[in-house]
Amino acid sequence: MIVHLVRSKEYSAHSFQSVLHLLNQFTGPVEFLASESLSEINNAIEVEIADKETFEKKDIPPPHFFEANYSREMPKLSIQFPHKTQQASWGHLFEKCAEYRSINGIPQNELVILLTDIGNEFNWFGSIDSDMRSVFIHTSDWQYYFHGLHERFPIAYEIVSWIFRIIMFDNRLEIKTSMHNESRGCLMDFCEDKKQIVFKMRTADFCSDCFQILEKTSVDQRIIHQLLDGLEGIRKNFLSVERSNYLNSPRKIKIKGFTHTIIIPDFGDIEIPLNPKQKALYLFFLKHSEGVRIVDLIDHRKEISIYYHRFSTFGTLEEIEKSLDILLDPTNNNINEVLSKIKSTFVKVLGQRLAEHYVISGNRGEKYKIKLSPDLIDFESSI
Protein backbone atom coordinates (compact mmCIF):
# COMPACT_ATOMS: atom_id res chain seq x y z
CA MET A 1 0.00 0.00 0.00
CA ILE A 2 1.47 3.32 -1.03
CA VAL A 3 0.59 6.51 0.83
CA HIS A 4 1.63 9.85 -0.64
CA LEU A 5 2.08 12.56 1.95
CA VAL A 6 1.60 15.90 0.27
CA ARG A 7 2.93 19.01 1.95
CA SER A 8 0.94 22.16 1.53
CA LYS A 9 3.12 25.23 0.91
CA GLU A 10 2.55 26.90 4.28
CA TYR A 11 3.19 23.74 6.33
CA SER A 12 6.72 23.60 7.78
CA ALA A 13 9.14 21.36 5.86
CA HIS A 14 10.84 20.47 9.11
CA SER A 15 7.64 19.26 10.75
CA PHE A 16 6.70 17.39 7.56
CA GLN A 17 10.04 15.54 7.56
CA SER A 18 9.72 14.65 11.23
CA VAL A 19 6.25 13.18 10.64
CA LEU A 20 7.61 11.14 7.74
CA HIS A 21 10.57 9.99 9.82
CA LEU A 22 8.27 8.91 12.64
CA LEU A 23 5.99 6.92 10.32
CA ASN A 24 8.92 5.25 8.60
CA GLN A 25 10.11 3.81 11.90
CA PHE A 26 7.37 1.21 11.57
CA THR A 27 8.18 -1.09 8.72
CA GLY A 28 5.82 -3.21 6.68
CA PRO A 29 3.82 -3.15 3.46
CA VAL A 30 2.60 0.44 3.96
CA GLU A 31 5.04 2.75 2.27
CA PHE A 32 4.96 6.48 3.05
CA LEU A 33 6.28 8.69 0.26
CA ALA A 34 6.96 12.42 0.56
CA SER A 35 5.40 14.66 -2.08
CA GLU A 36 7.64 15.85 -4.86
CA SER A 37 5.80 19.10 -5.38
CA LEU A 38 4.06 21.40 -2.94
CA SER A 39 0.37 21.95 -2.91
CA GLU A 40 -0.96 25.47 -2.58
CA ILE A 41 -4.28 26.14 -0.91
CA ASN A 42 -5.19 29.26 -2.85
CA ASN A 43 -8.85 29.40 -2.06
CA ALA A 44 -8.63 29.88 1.70
CA ILE A 45 -10.38 32.80 3.31
CA GLU A 46 -9.62 34.56 6.55
CA VAL A 47 -12.14 33.98 9.30
CA GLU A 48 -12.35 35.06 12.92
CA ILE A 49 -13.37 32.58 15.59
CA ALA A 50 -15.33 34.18 18.45
CA ASP A 51 -14.44 32.17 21.48
CA LYS A 52 -12.74 29.17 22.99
CA GLU A 53 -15.89 27.03 22.77
CA THR A 54 -16.21 27.59 19.04
CA PHE A 55 -12.54 26.97 18.46
CA GLU A 56 -12.74 23.67 20.30
CA LYS A 57 -15.90 22.43 18.60
CA LYS A 58 -16.28 20.38 15.46
CA ASP A 59 -19.24 21.20 13.22
CA ILE A 60 -21.34 18.63 11.41
CA PRO A 61 -21.42 18.77 7.61
CA PRO A 62 -24.88 18.68 6.02
CA PRO A 63 -26.30 15.14 5.62
CA HIS A 64 -26.08 15.10 1.82
CA PHE A 65 -22.33 15.44 2.17
CA PHE A 66 -22.19 11.76 3.08
CA GLU A 67 -24.15 10.60 0.04
CA ALA A 68 -22.08 8.42 -2.22
CA ASN A 69 -21.57 10.76 -5.14
CA TYR A 70 -21.51 14.02 -3.28
CA SER A 71 -18.07 15.42 -3.46
CA ARG A 72 -16.92 18.92 -4.25
CA GLU A 73 -19.97 21.16 -4.08
CA MET A 74 -19.63 22.66 -0.66
CA PRO A 75 -21.45 25.68 0.68
CA LYS A 76 -19.44 28.87 1.15
CA LEU A 77 -17.86 29.52 4.50
CA SER A 78 -19.90 31.70 6.77
CA ILE A 79 -18.04 31.99 10.07
CA GLN A 80 -17.09 35.34 11.53
CA PHE A 81 -15.33 35.55 14.90
CA PRO A 82 -12.52 37.53 16.62
CA HIS A 83 -9.83 34.79 16.24
CA LYS A 84 -8.37 35.26 12.80
CA THR A 85 -7.43 32.13 10.93
CA GLN A 86 -7.31 30.80 7.40
CA GLN A 87 -9.94 28.32 6.35
CA ALA A 88 -10.70 26.50 3.14
CA SER A 89 -13.75 24.47 2.18
CA TRP A 90 -13.45 20.69 2.31
CA GLY A 91 -14.21 20.62 -1.38
CA HIS A 92 -11.23 22.82 -2.15
CA LEU A 93 -8.89 20.69 -0.03
CA PHE A 94 -10.05 17.52 -1.81
CA GLU A 95 -9.60 19.26 -5.15
CA LYS A 96 -5.98 19.86 -4.17
CA CYS A 97 -5.56 16.14 -3.49
CA ALA A 98 -7.10 15.38 -6.89
CA GLU A 99 -4.85 17.92 -8.55
CA TYR A 100 -1.75 16.33 -7.01
CA ARG A 101 -2.98 12.92 -8.08
CA SER A 102 -3.54 14.06 -11.62
CA ILE A 103 -0.28 16.05 -12.07
CA ASN A 104 1.86 13.24 -10.66
CA GLY A 105 -0.06 10.38 -12.26
CA ILE A 106 -0.86 8.70 -8.96
CA PRO A 107 -2.87 5.50 -9.54
CA GLN A 108 -6.30 5.31 -7.96
CA ASN A 109 -5.32 2.51 -5.58
CA GLU A 110 -2.70 4.67 -3.87
CA LEU A 111 -3.63 7.09 -1.09
CA VAL A 112 -2.99 10.82 -1.12
CA ILE A 113 -2.88 12.62 2.24
CA LEU A 114 -2.62 16.39 2.18
CA LEU A 115 -1.03 18.01 5.24
CA THR A 116 -1.96 21.65 5.63
CA ASP A 117 -1.85 24.44 8.21
CA ILE A 118 -4.99 25.91 6.62
CA GLY A 119 -8.09 25.22 8.69
CA ASN A 120 -11.28 23.82 7.23
CA GLU A 121 -14.87 24.87 7.23
CA PHE A 122 -16.18 22.35 9.76
CA ASN A 123 -13.14 22.71 12.02
CA TRP A 124 -12.10 19.04 11.86
CA PHE A 125 -8.66 17.55 12.47
CA GLY A 126 -8.96 15.93 9.04
CA SER A 127 -11.42 14.35 6.65
CA ILE A 128 -11.75 12.07 3.68
CA ASP A 129 -13.04 12.55 0.14
CA SER A 130 -15.94 10.47 -1.17
CA ASP A 131 -13.51 8.34 -3.22
CA MET A 132 -12.02 7.07 0.08
CA ARG A 133 -8.55 7.61 -1.44
CA SER A 134 -7.80 11.22 -0.50
CA VAL A 135 -7.51 12.74 2.95
CA PHE A 136 -6.57 16.14 4.32
CA ILE A 137 -5.17 16.68 7.80
CA HIS A 138 -4.97 19.98 9.65
CA THR A 139 -1.39 20.41 10.88
CA SER A 140 -1.57 23.55 13.00
CA ASP A 141 -3.10 24.29 16.43
CA TRP A 142 -1.92 20.99 17.95
CA GLN A 143 0.00 22.84 20.63
CA TYR A 144 -3.33 24.15 21.83
CA TYR A 145 -4.37 20.63 22.81
CA PHE A 146 -0.99 19.13 23.64
CA HIS A 147 1.26 21.53 25.51
CA GLY A 148 4.91 20.84 24.99
CA LEU A 149 4.31 17.88 22.67
CA HIS A 150 5.86 17.92 19.20
CA GLU A 151 3.07 18.07 16.63
CA ARG A 152 4.53 15.11 14.73
CA PHE A 153 2.83 12.73 17.18
CA PRO A 154 -0.78 13.88 16.73
CA ILE A 155 -0.27 14.41 12.98
CA ALA A 156 1.18 10.91 12.54
CA TYR A 157 -1.67 9.57 14.67
CA GLU A 158 -4.22 11.23 12.38
CA ILE A 159 -2.51 9.76 9.31
CA VAL A 160 -2.56 6.25 10.76
CA SER A 161 -6.17 6.72 11.90
CA TRP A 162 -7.38 7.65 8.44
CA ILE A 163 -5.64 4.66 6.88
CA PHE A 164 -7.37 2.44 9.42
CA ARG A 165 -10.73 3.97 8.53
CA ILE A 166 -10.07 3.41 4.85
CA ILE A 167 -9.35 -0.23 5.59
CA MET A 168 -12.36 -0.69 7.85
CA PHE A 169 -15.10 1.09 5.93
CA ASP A 170 -16.43 1.23 2.38
CA ASN A 171 -17.59 4.81 2.30
CA ARG A 172 -17.79 8.10 4.12
CA LEU A 173 -21.30 7.54 5.41
CA GLU A 174 -20.23 4.29 7.04
CA ILE A 175 -17.39 6.13 8.76
CA LYS A 176 -19.77 8.79 9.98
CA THR A 177 -22.33 6.37 11.35
CA SER A 178 -19.63 4.29 13.05
CA MET A 179 -18.11 7.24 14.88
CA HIS A 180 -18.66 7.23 18.65
CA ASN A 181 -20.31 10.34 20.00
CA GLU A 182 -19.23 9.43 23.50
CA SER A 183 -15.52 9.19 24.31
CA ARG A 184 -14.26 5.61 24.49
CA GLY A 185 -10.58 6.29 23.98
CA CYS A 186 -11.11 4.65 20.58
CA LEU A 187 -9.74 5.74 17.23
CA MET A 188 -13.35 6.14 16.10
CA ASP A 189 -14.27 8.67 18.81
CA PHE A 190 -15.78 11.66 17.06
CA CYS A 191 -14.41 14.23 19.55
CA GLU A 192 -16.99 16.91 18.86
CA ASP A 193 -15.33 18.73 21.73
CA LYS A 194 -11.87 18.72 20.19
CA LYS A 195 -10.16 18.54 23.60
CA GLN A 196 -11.30 14.91 23.76
CA ILE A 197 -8.55 14.16 21.23
CA VAL A 198 -6.11 14.08 24.16
CA PHE A 199 -7.90 11.12 25.73
CA LYS A 200 -8.14 9.36 22.37
CA MET A 201 -4.43 9.72 21.76
CA ARG A 202 -3.39 8.68 25.26
CA THR A 203 -5.04 5.32 24.64
CA ALA A 204 -4.38 5.16 20.86
CA ASP A 205 -6.51 2.05 20.68
CA PHE A 206 -9.72 0.50 19.36
CA CYS A 207 -12.81 -0.33 21.38
CA SER A 208 -14.08 -3.91 21.10
CA ASP A 209 -16.79 -2.94 18.54
CA CYS A 210 -14.20 -1.42 16.24
CA PHE A 211 -11.79 -4.31 16.73
CA GLN A 212 -14.50 -6.64 15.46
CA ILE A 213 -14.86 -4.53 12.31
CA LEU A 214 -11.09 -4.55 11.88
CA GLU A 215 -10.93 -8.34 12.28
CA LYS A 216 -13.51 -8.84 9.53
CA THR A 217 -11.59 -6.88 6.91
CA SER A 218 -9.86 -8.87 4.23
CA VAL A 219 -6.83 -6.62 4.12
CA ASP A 220 -3.28 -8.02 4.34
CA GLN A 221 -2.75 -8.65 8.06
CA ARG A 222 0.80 -7.31 7.87
CA ILE A 223 -0.66 -3.87 7.07
CA ILE A 224 -2.75 -3.99 10.23
CA HIS A 225 0.25 -5.08 12.26
CA GLN A 226 2.35 -2.23 10.92
CA LEU A 227 -0.33 0.35 11.62
CA LEU A 228 -0.93 -1.01 15.12
CA ASP A 229 2.83 -0.83 15.74
CA GLY A 230 2.64 2.78 14.58
CA LEU A 231 -0.20 3.60 16.96
CA GLU A 232 1.61 1.93 19.82
CA GLY A 233 4.85 3.81 19.06
CA ILE A 234 3.04 7.14 18.87
CA ARG A 235 1.23 6.42 22.12
CA LYS A 236 4.46 5.52 23.94
CA ASN A 237 6.17 8.67 22.71
CA PHE A 238 3.17 10.71 23.66
CA LEU A 239 3.01 9.30 27.16
CA SER A 240 6.71 9.64 27.78
CA VAL A 241 6.66 13.31 26.73
CA GLU A 242 3.55 13.91 28.80
CA ARG A 243 5.12 12.18 31.78
CA SER A 244 8.38 14.05 31.51
CA ASN A 245 6.52 17.37 31.18
CA TYR A 246 4.70 16.45 34.34
CA LEU A 247 7.81 15.36 36.18
CA ASN A 248 9.81 18.39 35.12
CA SER A 249 7.21 21.00 35.83
CA PRO A 250 7.94 23.05 38.93
CA ARG A 251 5.57 22.94 41.88
CA LYS A 252 4.56 25.55 44.40
CA ILE A 253 7.13 26.57 47.00
CA LYS A 254 5.75 27.45 50.42
CA ILE A 255 7.32 29.65 53.07
CA LYS A 256 5.90 28.49 56.34
CA GLY A 257 5.68 29.82 59.88
CA PHE A 258 7.65 32.37 61.86
CA THR A 259 10.99 30.80 60.95
CA HIS A 260 10.05 30.70 57.28
CA THR A 261 10.65 27.06 56.65
CA ILE A 262 10.94 26.52 52.90
CA ILE A 263 8.92 23.52 51.76
CA ILE A 264 7.49 22.05 48.56
CA PRO A 265 4.03 20.71 49.49
CA ASP A 266 3.54 18.63 46.31
CA PHE A 267 6.69 16.67 47.05
CA GLY A 268 5.50 15.42 50.42
CA ASP A 269 6.18 18.74 52.19
CA ILE A 270 9.87 18.24 51.58
CA GLU A 271 12.00 20.92 53.19
CA ILE A 272 14.83 22.84 51.54
CA PRO A 273 17.35 23.05 54.37
CA LEU A 274 19.06 26.45 54.04
CA ASN A 275 21.08 28.03 56.83
CA PRO A 276 20.01 31.49 58.11
CA LYS A 277 22.30 33.42 55.79
CA GLN A 278 21.30 31.42 52.72
CA LYS A 279 17.66 31.64 53.67
CA ALA A 280 17.82 35.43 54.15
CA LEU A 281 19.28 35.86 50.68
CA TYR A 282 16.87 33.36 49.15
CA LEU A 283 13.78 34.99 50.62
CA PHE A 284 15.01 38.36 49.48
CA PHE A 285 15.13 37.07 45.88
CA LEU A 286 11.76 35.33 46.26
CA LYS A 287 10.29 38.72 47.20
CA HIS A 288 12.06 40.43 44.30
CA SER A 289 10.93 38.46 41.28
CA GLU A 290 11.99 41.34 39.02
CA GLY A 291 15.62 40.41 39.82
CA VAL A 292 18.48 42.41 41.34
CA ARG A 293 22.07 42.82 40.21
CA ILE A 294 24.65 41.46 42.66
CA VAL A 295 26.38 44.86 42.87
CA ASP A 296 23.05 46.46 43.82
CA LEU A 297 22.36 44.11 46.73
CA ILE A 298 24.10 46.56 49.06
CA ASP A 299 21.18 48.96 48.48
CA HIS A 300 18.86 46.33 49.99
CA ARG A 301 21.00 45.66 53.03
CA LYS A 302 18.25 46.65 55.45
CA GLU A 303 15.74 44.17 54.05
CA ILE A 304 18.23 41.31 53.91
CA SER A 305 19.40 42.17 57.40
CA ILE A 306 15.86 41.89 58.83
CA TYR A 307 15.52 38.35 57.44
CA TYR A 308 18.96 37.37 58.63
CA HIS A 309 18.34 38.53 62.20
CA ARG A 310 15.00 36.78 62.20
CA PHE A 311 16.42 33.40 61.22
CA SER A 312 19.71 33.44 63.05
CA THR A 313 19.66 31.77 66.42
CA PHE A 314 23.42 31.94 66.84
CA GLY A 315 25.82 34.84 67.01
CA THR A 316 25.58 38.32 68.33
CA LEU A 317 24.11 41.26 66.45
CA GLU A 318 27.62 42.40 65.60
CA GLU A 319 28.59 39.01 64.23
CA ILE A 320 25.54 38.97 61.96
CA GLU A 321 26.23 42.48 60.69
CA LYS A 322 29.85 41.52 60.05
CA SER A 323 28.75 38.46 58.15
CA LEU A 324 26.46 40.71 56.07
CA ASP A 325 29.37 43.08 55.34
CA ILE A 326 31.23 40.17 53.82
CA LEU A 327 28.20 38.91 51.92
CA LEU A 328 27.42 42.27 50.35
CA ASP A 329 31.01 43.28 49.62
CA PRO A 330 31.25 43.16 45.81
CA THR A 331 34.99 42.52 46.00
CA ASN A 332 34.46 39.44 48.13
CA ASN A 333 33.54 36.09 46.64
CA ASN A 334 31.30 35.22 49.58
CA ILE A 335 28.07 35.98 47.68
CA ASN A 336 28.99 33.47 44.95
CA GLU A 337 29.77 30.86 47.53
CA VAL A 338 26.40 31.38 49.20
CA LEU A 339 24.56 31.27 45.84
CA SER A 340 26.38 28.11 44.92
CA LYS A 341 25.52 26.46 48.27
CA ILE A 342 21.84 27.37 47.80
CA LYS A 343 21.98 25.82 44.35
CA SER A 344 23.62 22.62 45.51
CA THR A 345 21.02 22.26 48.26
CA PHE A 346 18.16 22.54 45.75
CA VAL A 347 19.88 20.11 43.38
CA LYS A 348 20.37 17.63 46.20
CA VAL A 349 16.70 17.77 47.18
CA LEU A 350 15.00 18.15 43.77
CA GLY A 351 17.52 16.97 41.18
CA GLN A 352 19.27 19.08 38.55
CA ARG A 353 16.36 19.69 36.16
CA LEU A 354 13.75 20.77 38.66
CA ALA A 355 16.26 22.76 40.70
CA GLU A 356 16.82 25.06 37.72
CA HIS A 357 13.42 26.67 38.36
CA TYR A 358 14.16 27.43 42.01
CA VAL A 359 17.77 28.60 42.20
CA ILE A 360 18.99 32.20 42.08
CA SER A 361 20.72 32.58 38.75
CA GLY A 362 21.84 35.18 36.27
CA ASN A 363 24.69 36.31 34.08
CA ARG A 364 27.59 38.24 35.52
CA GLY A 365 26.79 41.97 35.67
CA GLU A 366 23.10 41.38 34.91
CA LYS A 367 20.12 40.91 37.20
CA TYR A 368 19.98 37.71 39.21
CA LYS A 369 16.58 36.18 39.86
CA ILE A 370 14.59 33.07 40.67
CA LYS A 371 12.87 31.80 37.50
CA LEU A 372 9.88 30.38 39.35
CA SER A 373 6.61 32.02 38.35
CA PRO A 374 5.26 34.28 41.16
CA ASP A 375 2.00 32.31 41.30
CA LEU A 376 4.06 29.31 42.46
CA ILE A 377 5.39 31.22 45.47
CA ASP A 378 3.25 31.00 48.57
CA PHE A 379 4.15 33.04 51.65
CA GLU A 380 2.12 31.64 54.52
CA SER A 381 2.90 34.68 56.67
CA SER A 382 4.27 38.05 55.76
CA ILE A 383 7.53 39.30 57.18
Counting contacts by CB under 5 A, is residue 207 touching Zn ion?
yes
- Using the rule CB under 5 A, give the single segment among 73-81, 140-148, 207-215, 240-248 that binds Zn ion: 207-215
Angle between helices 208-216 and 152-168 (to 10 degrees): 60
> Minimum distance between the CB of residue 209 and Zn ion, rounded to whole angstroms?
5
Q: Which of residues 30-69 bind Zn ion (CB under 5 A)?
A: none
Total of chain residues touching Zn ion, rule CB under 5 A: 4
Counting contacts by CB under 5 A, is residue 191 touching Zn ion?
no
> Minimum distance between the CB of residue 203 and Zn ion, rounded to whole angstroms?
11
Query: For Zn ion, which is the closer residue by CB, 23 or 188?
Result: 188
> Minimum distance between the CB of residue 186 and Zn ion, rounded to whole angstroms?
3
253: helix, strand or coil: strand
Bridge partners (DSSP) of residue 37 are none
- Using the rule CB under 5 A, give the single segment among 151-159, 203-211, 281-289, 293-301 that binds Zn ion: 203-211
> Minimum distance between the CB of residue 215 and Zn ion, rounded to whole angstroms?
13
Around Cβ 259, how many Cβ atoms within 10 Å? 12
Query: For Zn ion, which is the closer residue by CB, 178 or 323?
Result: 178
Question: Which of 5, 186, 281, 355 is in the footprint of Zn ion by CB under 5 A?
Answer: 186
Q: How far apart are CA 318 and CA 374, in angstroms?
A: 34
- Strands 119-120 and 83-88: what pairing? parallel
> Minimum distance between the CB of residue 230 and Zn ion, rounded to whole angstroms?
18
- Using the rule CB under 5 A, give the single segment among 92-100, 186-194, 224-232, 240-248 that binds Zn ion: 186-194
Integer CA distances (angstroms), 66 to 148, 171, 185, in order: 36, 8, 25
Judged by phi (left if over 0) then psi (alpha if -120 to 50, else beta), residue 118 lies in beta
List % helix, strand, coil for the chain (3-state, nearest 5).
45, 15, 35
Query: What is the signed CA dihedral for 57, 61, 63, 66, rounded to 10 degrees?
Result: -120
Q: Which of 202, 115, 93, 203 is nearest to 162 (CA)?
A: 115
- Strands 253-256 and 261-264: what pairing? antiparallel
Question: Which of 210, 286, 327, 350 is in the footprint of Zn ion by CB under 5 A?
Answer: 210
> Minimum distance between the CB of residue 216 and Zn ion, rounded to whole angstroms?
14
Counting contacts by CB under 5 A, is residue 188 touching Zn ion?
yes
Binding mask 142-181 toward Zn ion (x if CB under 5 A, else -) reads ----------------------------------------
> Minimum distance between the CB of residue 185 and Zn ion, rounded to whole angstroms?
9
Integer CA distances (angstroms), 73 to 92, 101, 133, in order: 9, 19, 18
Counting contacts by CB under 5 A, is residue 204 touching Zn ion?
no
Which residues contribute to the site for Zn ion (CB under 5 A)?
186, 188, 207, 210
